[in-house]
Structure 1
Amino acid sequence: MKKYYLIIALIFLVTGCTFQKPDYVKVVTPTELNRIMQQQDIFLVDVHTPKQRHIKGTDLFIPYDEVEKYKDLLPEDKNTAIYLYCEGGPMGNAAARSFYKLGYHDLTNLEGGANAWRKAGLDFE
C-alpha cells in the first residue's frame, strides 16, 4: 500500500513541476531582463492581480486570468517577444498559457516576479 502512495505522490510532484515551468514559456532573472530592456524595446506586461506597482517600462497591465479580453491591445505580430511578470511568478505562468493559446510563442516570465525585481534593487514606476 505504501508503494501506491509513493507513486501517487511522485505523480503529483511531477505534474506540479510541469505547471510551474511550462515548456512554452522561458524564464529570465531580473538582472537578465534589466539588461535586455537596456538593449532593446520589449513588450512588457504586468499580469498580477490585484494591480501592483509596475516595473519601469511596463507596456500594459492585463489580469492574468483575463488575457483574452485584452487581445485587441496585444501586438498583431504573433512572433513578438512578450515578457510577463506578476508579484512572484505563478500568475505569469498562468498568463503565458493564455497568450500561447492566442498564438503567441515567444513568451518569457520574470523569475520571482516583481518581488525578485525589488530585491535586485531595480526601478518601479
Structure 2
Amino acid sequence: MFALARSSLARRCAVNNVQRHAFSSSAISAGYFKDYLERVRVNVKEVSVSEVNAELKKADPHHGVSVHLLDVREPYEWNVEHIPNAIYTGRGCLERDIESIVPDQQEPIVVYCASGNRSLLAAESLQNLGYKNVRSLKGGIAEWKKAGNRVRINASTFADRVEKY
C-alpha cells in the first residue's frame, strides 16, 4: 500500500512538474490541499448563489441585514470589486476581528472569496470559534458574477491613483 501511495504521489508530482515552468503557475502539488478541502467540506455547509441572493433580498429595513456577508479575499481583490453590502475582513484577520463584526454567534453568516476555497476554510475557522450559522458561498464571487449578479466596482484603485502622479 505504501508503494502504491508513493507511486501515486510520484505521478502527481511528475504531471505538475511539467506545468511548473510557467511563471504564474502554482508550486508542485501532491494534492494535500485538495484533500484537505474535501475533509473540510464535510463539516461546512456550502450555499449557492441563488440561496444567498434570496436571503439578501429578505433583509428587513427596520432590523437591518438578514445575513452577514463577509468577504475574506485580499485587500486588492476587495478594492477592485465586491458583492454589494458585503463587509470586508481579510482572511488573515478574520479570527481576531469577527467578534466586533458579528458579536452574536447565532447570527447567520455567509463567507465568500474568489472561488470558494478560502471561504470554506474561513467558515470552518468561524465554526471552531463557536459560530453556529456559518456557510461558505460555493464558487465565490466568480459564481456570483457568472450568475449575472451585480458587483460594486471601485472607480479607481490605489494603483490607479498612484499612477496619475
2:39 to 18, 31, 34: 18
Distance 1:62 1:104 in 2: 16
Instruction: Give the structure, 1 or 2, with the largest relative contact order (CA under 8 Å, sep 6 or more).
Output: 1
1:45 to 70, 79, 86: 70
Partner of 2:139: 112
Secondary structure (helix, strand or coil) at the match of 1:45 reads strand
Partner of 1:91: 118
Matched-pair contact (CA < 8 Å) for 2:69–2:111: yes
Query: In structure 2, do the counterparts of structure 1 residues 14 and 69 end up closer, same or farther at CA, with 3 Å as the change threshold?
Result: closer
Distance 1:16 1:108 in 2: 14
Q: Counterparts of 1:36-75 in structure 2 under 5 Å? A: 36-40=55-59, 41-50=66-75, 51-52=77-78, 53-58=81-86, 60-75=87-102
What percentage of aligned pairs have identical amino acids? Answer: 26
Query: In structure 2, do the counterparts of structure 1 residues 39 and 71 end up closer, same or farther at CA, with 3 Å as the change threshold?
Result: closer
Structure 1, unaligned stretches of length 5 or more?
Answer: none
Structure 2, unaligned stretches of length 5 or more?
Answer: 9-31, 60-65, 153-165
1:28 to 29, 40, 47: 47
CA RMSD in angstroms comes to: 2.4
Distance 1:42 1:93 in 2: 17
TM-score computed with the length of structure 1 as normaliser: 0.81
Distance 1:22 1:74 in 2: 26
* Structure 1 residue 108: Cα displacement: 0.7
